[in-house]
Structure formats: C-alpha cells, structure tokens
A and B are shown apart, each in its own frame.
Chain A
Amino acid sequence: AQSVTQLDSQVPVFEEAPVELRCNYSSSVSVYLFWYVQYPNQGLQLLLKYLSGSTLVKGINGFEAEFNKSQTSFHLRKPSVHISDTAEYFCAVSGIDYKLSFGAGTTVTVRA
C-alpha cells in the first residue's frame, strides 16, 4: 500500500513570489506520482505527473515538480505565482493497480 503526506495544509503567498508545496510518499513498490489542482467549486485537474525518466517534471501553468527517490518526495514549485493560482493542490501516488492515494491537500492563497 502507498500513502501520501502533504506537509503544509495552508500556504499564503504574495503575487509574483515563488511557492513550494511539499509532498512525501511511502510505498513498498515503484510508484507513479501526480499533482492535481482544484479551483473553487470545481473538480480536480491534472497539473503534472511522474511515471519514469527525468526526475524534473514540467506541468501546466508554469508548475514543475522534482521526484527524489532517496527522500521519497515529490515537491511542487512555481517561480512566480498569480492570483489565479489560488486553489487547493493535491499530491497523489499510485502503484500498478490504477488506484490513487491522495494527500490531505494544500490550500494556496495568493495575495496582491
């Protein structure tokens, strides 16, 4: 079984500042890692995913994440945020069974 811990429940940040959302996972098998974003009153949308290959993954809207196997982490970063990045962000992990295990979520609030 796999599990995910998102280390920050809320992250306030000023517009144009960088942001990092931390995610750690545990698993006894090879994993696939995902970051999803949920805007207010909407469903989840995929930001990026790591399946294999390069450990630096680039996603939509300027986000990127780095897979670190030794630290079992998959932190999400954006160098300069916009007001429109205000949302909840979920880290998720899956093994070979197609099921996702989600973290509790990190609420990002971008202030002008």
Chain B
Amino acid sequence: DAGITQSPRYKITETGRQVTLMCHQTWSHSYMFWYRQDLGHGLRLIYYSAAADITDKGEVPDGYVVSRSKTENFPLTLESATRSQTSVYFCASSEPMPKGESSTDTQYFGPGTRLTVL
C-alpha cells in the first residue's frame, strides 16, 4: 500500500535492551522525521534526514540513533532503552517545494509506535 508505515505498532521492552523502530514510505520523499509524543509536550523532533545518508539531530536526540541507507526507510534505534523513553513515536516524511517557491511543505505522518520500557 502507498503511504507511510511504521512497525511494530506496539512494543514492550526492558531497560537496557536495544530496540529498533521501523519507518517506510512509498512516496520517495526526500525528508523524513522522527518525533516522540508525550503528554503535555506535543511532538518533539528526535532526528531528521534530508536525503539518504544525510541525518541531523532534532530537539531531543540523546539515547537515539538513526540511519538512512535507502530513501524509503528511516529506522530509529534506542541503543539502551530507559524508562524515560516510554512514549509514542511518529515517523513523518515530506517533499520540499522546488526552489523559488515556498521552501517547506506538508509532513505526512505514520500511525505511530507505542513503546513501553519496563
């Protein structure tokens, strides 16, 4: 199916374990983003990527690692999960408008992954 998908949708893990959340989009969008959603904080940007092999930190990157070897995939890894990383994680993608036009465009969001760290 076309669109943006995330897996798993639900995950329970233990403190100290490594966890990888997957994100896949079929639009060939250049930009991809990872957010976490916590009550009272809205969505906060963890990492983003402007293209394959180009990634950069967002607002809350500590404890997370990303990679982007292919345009369509943007996995997020928690190297050693902590309870504070219990959250709902959203992946998003966008395709910037061409130069000369507005330089930002709509972000399309996946359905989210609910992660619980015990």
Interface residue A83 (Cβ < 8 Å from any Cβ of B)? no
Interface of A, secondary structure class, is: strand
Nearest chain A CB to B17's CB is how many angstroms away? 25
| B106, A49: Cβ atoms closer than 8 Å | yes
Q: Please, how many residues of chain B have a CB less than 8 angstroms from a CB on the other chain?
A: 27
Closest to B112 in A: A43
B90's contact among A6, A44, A96, by CB below 8 Å, is which?
A44
Query: How many inter-chain contacts with C-beta < 8 Å in the A-B complex?
Result: 57
Nearest chain A CB to B110's CB is how many angstroms away? 5
| A96, B104: Cβ atoms closer than 8 Å | yes
For A51, the chain B residues whose CB sits under 8 A away are: 102, 104
Chain A: number of interface residues, binned into ranges: 20 to 34
Nearest chain B CB to A15's CB is how many angstroms away? 26
Q: How far is the CA of A99 from the CA of B57 in the complex (A)?
A: 11
Closest to A31 in B: B104
Given contacts A99-B48, A102-B43, contact A43 B109 (CB under 8 A): yes
Q: How far is the CA of A51 from the CA of B108 in the complex (A)?
A: 17
Interface residue A57 (Cβ < 8 Å from any Cβ of B)? no
Q: How far is the CA of A6 from the CA of B41 in the complex (A)?
A: 11
B102's contact among A32, A99, A102, by CB below 8 Å, is which?
A32
Given contacts A42-B111, A46-B106, contact A98 B31 (CB under 8 A): yes
| Subset of 12 A-B contacts with CB under 8 Å | A32-B102, A44-B43, A46-B108, A90-B42, A90-B43, A98-B94, A99-B45, A100-B33, A100-B45, A101-B45, A104-B40, A104-B41
Q: Which residues of B contact A (CB under 8 A)?
A: 31, 33, 35, 40-45, 48, 50, 58, 90, 92, 94, 96, 102-112
Shortest beta-carbon contacts, A-B, top 5: A102-B42, A43-B109, A44-B109, A102-B43, A51-B102
